[in-house]
Amino acid sequence: MISSSALNELSKALGAAEVHATDYNRTGSHLDVTVAGDGLRAAAQTLQGRGFFLEDLTAVDHRTHREVVYRFNLYQGPCRVTIRAKADEADAVDTISDLYPLANWMERECHEFLGVTFTGHPDPRRLLLPEDSDFHPLRKDFVVPQEALAPEYHQD
């Protein structure tokens, strides 16, 4: 298990704008920080330099804004670093797909489901949804269109 002083050092190195209290046994991450808009790539670069790999990438729709959540981990042992980046007014966040190729697909997925734009993404096409879809189904304001709901079973 990683020491708290090392975590403190790490959060400083990441240029965290905000450090959230986290309990590994409860939330599953050792360090939970929010980085300011343009600090994300720097933080990702720092983590890459220290041998962290990208474990997960997703976004949360907070109704007022979108927040992209990155998880990094070490192969040697559990040291999960959660990095949160708030998307700006245009729902845009810098891409890290050039640093972590895995992020390419994860960002595409994030983009189509939550409408977060990743600035500088090389291939921002739809991945899982139809190519021409213009909706973001995991947004809280997304209303399932009536015709998409399953028909009643009696109408055979």
Site for another protein, rule CB under 8 A: 25-29, 53-56, 58, 60-61, 69, 71, 75, 77-78, 80, 82, 100-102, 104-106, 113, 125-130, 137-138, 153-154, 156
The C-alpha atoms of residue 67 and residue 72 are separated, in whole angstroms, by 16
Closest distance between another protein and the C-beta of residue 143, in Å? Answer: 12
CB of 74 to another protein, least distance (A): 9
The CA angle 109-144-84, to the nearest 5 degrees, is: 35
Q: Which is nearer to another protein, 120 or 137 (CB)?
A: 137
Name the percent of the chain in helix, strand, coil, to the closest 5: 25, 25, 50
- Distance of closest approach, residue 62 Cβ to another protein, in angstroms: 9
At 10, which helix (H) or strand (E)? helix 4-13
CA–CA distance, 68 with 72 (Å, rounded to integer): 13
Which residue, 38 or 134, has its beta carbon nearer to another protein? Answer: 134
